[in-house]
Structure 1
Amino acid sequence: MNSRAPLNIFYEEPEADRWAPLDRYPRRLVRWLLRGPKQPGGTMRVCLNLCAGLDRLNVPYRVNDYRHIRKHPHELACLIGQPHILPKFALETPMLFGTSIYNHPIDDPDLLRRRNICRVLVPSPWVERMFSSVWPGNVSLWPCGIDTDRWSPSKRANRDVDVLIYDKIFRHRDRYTRSIVDPLLAELRRRRLTVEVLRYGSYREKTLYDLSKRARAMVYLSHHETQGFAAQQMLSSNVPLFAWDREGLWTDRKYVPHLVRFGPVSSVPYWDERCGTKFTGSGDLLPAFDKFWFGVEAELFAPREMIVEKFTLEGQARAYLALVDKYGPH
């Protein structure tokens, strides 16, 4: 029996009315009827995976028990959800805040002066550097764990998809289609490889899971990632990545270039040579893919090893508890 007091975990995502007061509720019902249960996004996945890790460690917790925290305002509140839930807590309530918070702390640079926030958690080293520029000395690194049991290597004798292309290109799409996507597709056709394409935002997690059992390799096209769940889930499945990693400036249009200029960022912030091969753009695309595909065919990559070493549910739950013990009230 674990002797720890239950953690107070809070997770919510904002949902605004669109056309009329309170219309978010019938819209939620209609979405459920048409699309089924809500697809886990990044914030929900952080909460689900943290709770799963705590379950494996037999550590008790409460989720969204606002009644309890109102009665016990001096207990630590672990806020996974976004900043809109801050007003639900008393000013004196100590908080562990993150990792799904502001896109950039410039949204609320005085937050730590107004609220009893013990520590801000962020998911990767480049985000830690960016947030520390506004909140120096108050930011800690904590990436979420991956369900390595679920996302495990396929037992299929033959994988029938040579290359899965994961397309998360938003900005300057026409330019990058011409300079990266089209030349890459031409090279895959030249090599007579079978290809599937997933466009970010248009698939359910089960689709990626099914493809993790069928694909020999994945091309990962993203401007930057704070952690990169899809990439890490495929790596956990022992699918090596050919990753576009520009290592340039942060490109969020809400902030850039008028408010923030920050770099370098990364599309694969957790990486080593076991994971696959990276390229920076059109200049090194084809030579890097030639090196990558040689490694795929020669079975030189072992991406699952990196994930199991660093990102199990249990391991990252222990890391979270260490932050609770270090920065929470005593």
Structure 2
Amino acid sequence: MIHIYFKPLPLKDRYFFGDRYLIPFLKKLMKGKRVSGIEKVFINLCKSFDQMGIAYKKNQKFRSLKAEDKVIVLGIGKDILNAYQQPNQIIAGIALVSHPSEWTTMLEDYPIAKYLQHSAWAEAIYISYYGQKVCDVWFAGIETEKWKPPVNENKAFDFLIYNKIKSKYDADLLMPIKNQLEAQGYTFKEIIYGHYKEKEYFNLLSDCKAMIYLSEHESQGFAYQEAMSMNVPILAWNQGYWLDPNLGKWNNNMPIPASSVPYFNAYCGETFVDFAAFKDKLPLFLSRMVGGKYQPRQYVIENLSLAKSAKRMLQIIDEVYETEV
């Protein structure tokens, strides 16, 4: 039997005793329930197994594990394994640690056979600590039947700007892009990461012709892939490096190659490195879009579907446990 584990980070009081319960309650009351990206990884793995008819159990007690059971741990933070004393090998990831230097003894502390990352650039960071044999790549699947184009192809506006960048980029990137679109007569709307409900995002994708995706880097990037699943072409800022503010602490500020669109090809859209490149790429992007050159939904179906994700995980399970599931 496959056992899948997910636990979020434990709640902690911030301002006074007990507010660890009050603050999430108030946020849910004001903004509705929100699912974190890591929790979505867990949810979509379960959905991919459901779609493929693969049996599994969720969050069972570690002590209930049998010798033949396969273990996948996708929780946030290494504390999820505190009570693990079983000999069963573990397939772990995606966010037990933010950087491998935070847990250099992971392989000695627990029987972790695989540590997963969503894409090759993120995996490369972990290989130097845990080794090529332990590190591997697995992507969470996209619900292509949920995120699909509307029957009505009449779109209300030209661009949806997906803003996942910090305000420090407003002057050099965000505002010049908006000004350029306005100067050329294109209509657009903006959505800000962490400040919308899923239904709102779905409706905006249904009404836009294309997306301008602004993110520093992504190990996977659910948002732009859900847009592609709805056949929305992407014009993405892809400056090429990991810009995590903790990079100095982890890596002495040595540049690390990264991508904001790690799953992407010429059928999905175009990328640019700065505003000057955006101005050059915009007419090319528009001409190819009008000419029907982009087929992003087909890319997602062929490479990022729930079924593809489940099959990839089964390959990893077979490699670790050397047996058929």
TM-score for the superposition, normalised by structure 2:
0.92
Aligned to 1:229: 222
The aligned amino acid for 1:107 is: E
Which residue does the alignment assign to 1:141? 137
Could you tell me how far apart the structure 1 residues matched to 2:160 and 2:40 are? 22
Distance 2:59 2:277 in 1: 48
Distance in 2 separating the partners of 1:238 and 1:190: 26
The letter of the residue matching 1:158 is N
Show the 5 A alignment for 1:16-95: 16-36=12-32, 38-66=33-61, 69-72=62-65, 74=67, 75-82=69-76, 83-90=78-85, 92-95=87-90
Separation in structure 2 between the aligned mates of residue 77 and residue 295 of structure 1, nearest angstrom: 46
Sequence identity, in percent?
Answer: 29
- Give SS of 1:133's match: helix
Q: Give the SS at the match of 2:236.
A: strand
| Matched length | 318
Residue 213 (structure 1) aligns with: 206
Aligned to 2:314: 321
Q: Are the counterparts in 2 of residues 122 and 128 from structure 1 also a CA contact under 8 Å?
A: yes
- Superposed CA deviations along residues 220-269 of structure 1, whole A, max 9, x for unmatched, are 01111010100100011100011000113x22112326634242110001
**Aligned 1:249-328 pairs, distance under 5 A:** 250-256=242-248, 259-260=251-252, 261-328=254-321
Task: Please tell me the residue identity of whatever aligns with 2:52.
Answer: L
Is the Cα contact below 8 Å between 1:73 and 1:92 reproduced in 2?
no
* C-alpha contact 1:76 1:329 (8 A) present in aligned 2: no
- Aligned CA-pair RMSD: 1.8
**1:191 aligned partner:** 184
- 1: CA distance, partners of 2:193 / 2:311: 31
Offset of 1:30 from its aligned partner?
3.6
Q: Which residues of structure 1 form unaligned runs of 5+?
A: none
| Deviation sequence 1:2-60 (CA, Å, 0-9, x none) | xxx3x111111112232445542344444333333x31111111111111111111111
Determine if contact 2:74/2:95 at 8 Å carries over to the other structure: yes
| 1:12–1:300 distance in 2 versus 1, CA, 3 Å | same
TM-score (norm 1): 0.91
Paired residue type of 2:206:
K
Q: Does the Cα contact within 8 Å between 1:99 and 1:142 map onto a contact in 2? A: no
Q: Secondary structure at the match of 1:208?
A: helix
Does the C-alpha gap of structure 1 residues 304 and 11 become closer, same or farther in structure 2, counting only changes over 3 Å? same
Q: Rate the CA distance shift 1:93–1:18 in 2: closer, same or farther, 3 A.
A: farther
Which stretch shows the higher mean deviation, 85-94 or 155-164? 85-94
CA distance in 2, matches of 1:87, 1:187: 52
Q: Deviations over 1:200-233 (max 9, x none)?
A: 1111222211111111000001111010100100
SS at match of 1:198: strand
Is contact 2:163-2:191 (8 Å) kept? yes
**For structure 1, which segment, 25-34 or 213-222, has the greater mean C-alpha deviation from structure 2 after superposition?**
25-34
- What is the aligned counterpart of 2:160 among 161, 164, 176? 164
